[in-house]
Amino acid sequence: MVILRLSYWQIVKKDELSAQAQDQYTSKEIIEGSRGTIITADNFPLVVNQAVYSLGAYMPSVVDSPTSIVEQILPHLEFSIDDVSIATDEAKLKIALEEIKANTKSTMLERLGKSGYSVLARSLSVKEKDAIEALGIKGLTFDQSFARHYPEASMSAQLTGFVGRDDLGKSTGYFGLEGFYDRELSSRSRIEKQDVDAGGNPLLTGDFQLLPGREGRSLKLHIERGTQFVVEEALKEGITHYGAKSGEVIVMDPETGGILAMASWPSYDPSKFHLYDASLYKNPAVANTYEPGSTFKVLIMAAALNEGVVTENDQCEICHEPFQIGKYQINTWDGEYMANATPADILVNSNNVGMVWAQRRLGGEKMLEYIKKFGFGQKTGIDLQEEVASTLRSRWGEIDYATSSFGQGIAVTTIQMLSAVGALANQGVLMEPHLVQSVIGETEVPIPPKSRGQVISPDTAKRITELMIQSAGQGEAKWAAAKGYEIAGKTGTAQVAVEGHYDKDKTTASFVGFAPAKNPKFVMIVKLSEPGTSQWASETAAPLWFSLARKLLIRYNIPPDKNIN
Amino acid sequence: MKLIKLLFIIITGLVITNVTLTNRTVDESVVVSKLNQDIATLQNENTILKAQVAEAGSLDKLTLKLAEAGFVETTQIVSVNTTSSVASR
**Inter-chain CB proximity A204 and B32 less than 8 Å:** yes
The CA distance from B7 to the nearest CA of chain A, in Å, is 26
**Inter-chain CB proximity B33 and A202 less than 8 Å:** yes
**Inter-chain CB proximity B47 and A197 less than 8 Å:** no
ipTM: 0.71
Of A157, A183, A153, the C-alpha closest to A170 is: A183
Q: What is the mean pLDDT of residues A58-68?
A: 88
Q: What pLDDT score does A521 carry?
A: 95
**Which has the higher per-residue pLDDT, A275 or A44?**
A44
DSSP code of A378?
S
For the cut 70, the answer to whether the pLDDT of residue A565 exceeds it is no
Alpha helices (H) in A426-500, listed in sequence order: 458-474
The CA distance from B74 to the nearest CA of chain A, in Å, is 10
Contacts for A69 with CB less than 8 Å, ≥ 6 apart = A57, A62, A108, A112, A137, A140
CB contacts of A154 in chain B (<8 Å) are: 60
Contact A350, A476 (CB under 8 A): yes
Number of H helices, E strands in chain B: 2, 0
Contact A492, A512 (CB under 8 A): yes
Model confidence band, residue A1 (pLDDT cutoffs 50, 70, 90): confident
Q: What pLDDT score does A260 carry?
A: 97
Which residue in chain B is spatially nearest to A197 when comparing CA positions? B26
Model confidence band, residue A278 (pLDDT cutoffs 50, 70, 90): confident
Model confidence band, residue A237 (pLDDT cutoffs 50, 70, 90): very high
From A7-11, A89-93, A254-258, B73-77, the region with the lowest mean pLDDT: B73-77
Interface mutation vs chain B, best among A205, A232, A550, A551, most B CBs within 10 Å? A205
**Inter-chain CB proximity B77 and A154 less than 8 Å:** no
For the cut 80, the answer to whether the pLDDT of residue A242 exceeds it is yes
Model confidence band, residue B82 (pLDDT cutoffs 50, 70, 90): low
Q: What pLDDT score does B83 carry?
A: 63
Chain B residues 1-20 with CB within 8 Å of chain A: none
pLDDT tens digits, one per residue of B16-26: 998 888 777 77
Alpha helices (H) in B57-75, listed in sequence order: 59-68
Q: What pLDDT score does A413 carry?
A: 96
Contacts for A239 with CB less than 8 Å, ≥ 6 apart = A246, A247, A265, A528
HEC-encoded secondary structure of A165-232:
ECCCCCEEEECHHHHHCHHHHCCECEEEEEEECCCCCECCCCCEEEECCECCCEEEECCCHHHHHHHH
β-pair type (A218-221, A38-39): parallel
Model confidence band, residue A446 (pLDDT cutoffs 50, 70, 90): very high
For the cut 60, the answer to whether the pLDDT of residue B88 exceeds it is no
A31-221: CATH class: alpha beta
Contact A226, A516 (CB under 8 A): no
Q: What pLDDT score does A411 carry?
A: 92
**Which has the higher per-residue pLDDT, A200 or A141?**
A141
Which residue in chain A is spatially nearest to B40 when comparing CA positions? A31
For the cut 70, the answer to whether the pLDDT of residue A96 exceeds it is yes
Which residue in chain B is spatially nearest to A145 when comparing CA positions? B44
Model confidence band, residue A177 (pLDDT cutoffs 50, 70, 90): very high
Contacts for A60 with CB less than 8 Å, ≥ 6 apart = A115, A116, A139
β-pair type (A444-446, A162-165): unpaired
For the cut 70, the answer to whether the pLDDT of residue B75 exceeds it is no
For the cut 70, the answer to whether the pLDDT of residue B78 exceeds it is no
pLDDT tens digits, one per residue of A527-550: 999 999 998 888 999 999 999 999
Q: What is the mean pLDDT of residues A317-342?
A: 88
Q: What pLDDT score does A181 carry?
A: 95
Which residue in chain A is spatially nearest to B25 when comparing CA positions? A204
- pLDDT cut 70: percent of chain A above it: 98
Distance CA A484, CA A133 (A): 61
**Domain limits of chain A?**
31-221, 225-267+288-555
For the cut 90, the answer to whether the pLDDT of residue A63 exceeds it is no
Q: What is the mean pLDDT of residues A219-224?
A: 96
CB contacts of B78 in chain A (<8 Å) are: none
**Inter-chain CB proximity B29 and A202 less than 8 Å:** yes
Interface mutation vs chain A, best among B19, B59, B62, B63, most A CBs within 10 Å? B59
For the cut 60, the answer to whether the pLDDT of residue B50 exceeds it is yes
**A31-221 shares its CATH topology with A225-267+288-555:** no
**Inter-chain CB proximity B59 and A226 less than 8 Å:** yes
Provide the 10 A C-beta neighbour count for residue A145. Answer: 13
pLDDT tens digits, one per residue of A353-410: 999 999 999 999 999 999 999 999 999 999 999 999 888 998 999 999 999 999 998 9
Q: How far is CA A473 from CA A3, A107, A352, A550, in A?
A: 106, 66, 19, 15
The CA distance from B33 to the nearest CA of chain A, in Å, is 6
Average pLDDT, chain A: 89
Distance CA A316, CA A332 (A): 14
Of A213, A232, A376, the C-alpha closest to A290 is: A376
**Inter-chain CB proximity A126 and B52 less than 8 Å:** yes
Distance CA A118, CA B27 (A): 37
For the cut 90, the answer to whether the pLDDT of residue B84 exceeds it is no
Model confidence band, residue A209 (pLDDT cutoffs 50, 70, 90): confident
Model confidence band, residue B86 (pLDDT cutoffs 50, 70, 90): low
DSSP code of A504?
E
Q: Is the dihedral of CA A543, A544, A549, A554 positive or negative?
A: positive
**Inter-chain CB proximity B48 and A560 less than 8 Å:** no
**Inter-chain CB proximity A560 and B77 less than 8 Å:** yes
Q: What pLDDT score does A561 carry?
A: 75
**Inter-chain CB proximity B29 and A197 less than 8 Å:** yes
Q: What pLDDT score does B52 carry?
A: 87
Q: What pLDDT score does A213 carry?
A: 85
pLDDT tens digits, one per residue of A114-145: 888 888 988 888 889 999 999 989 989 998 88
Contact A533, A241 (CB under 8 A): yes
- Superfamily the domain A225-267+288-555 falls into: DD-peptidase/beta-lactamase superfamily (3.40.710.10)
**Inter-chain CB proximity B54 and A201 less than 8 Å:** no
A273: helix, coil or strand?
helix
Model confidence band, residue B31 (pLDDT cutoffs 50, 70, 90): confident
**Inter-chain CB proximity B32 and A200 less than 8 Å:** no
Contacts for A199 with CB less than 8 Å, ≥ 6 apart = B30
**Inter-chain CB proximity A203 and B29 less than 8 Å:** yes
Number of residues assigned to chain A: 565
Instruction: Label residues A464-496 b or e (16+ Cβ within 10 Å = b).
Output: bbebbbbbbbebbbeebbbebbbbbbbbbbbbb
Query: In a 10 Å sphere around its CB, with 0-12 CB exposed, 13-18 middle and 19+ buried, how is residue B41 labelled?
Result: exposed
CB contacts of B51 in chain A (<8 Å) are: 48-51, 149, 151
For the cut 80, the answer to whether the pLDDT of residue A3 exceeds it is yes
Chain B residues 40-59 with CB within 8 Å of chain A: 44, 47-48, 50-52, 54-55, 57-59
Interface mutation vs chain B, best among A25, A44, A52, A204, most B CBs within 10 Å? A204
Contact A161, A174 (CB under 8 A): yes
CB contacts of A557 in chain B (<8 Å) are: none
The CA distance from B19 to the nearest CA of chain A, in Å, is 12
Which residue in chain A is spatially nearest to B50 when comparing CA positions? A48
Query: In a 10 Å sphere around its CB, with 0-12 CB exposed, 13-18 middle and 19+ buried, how is residue B63 labelled?
Result: middle
User: C-alpha angle A85/A88/A91, rounded to 5°?
Assistant: 95
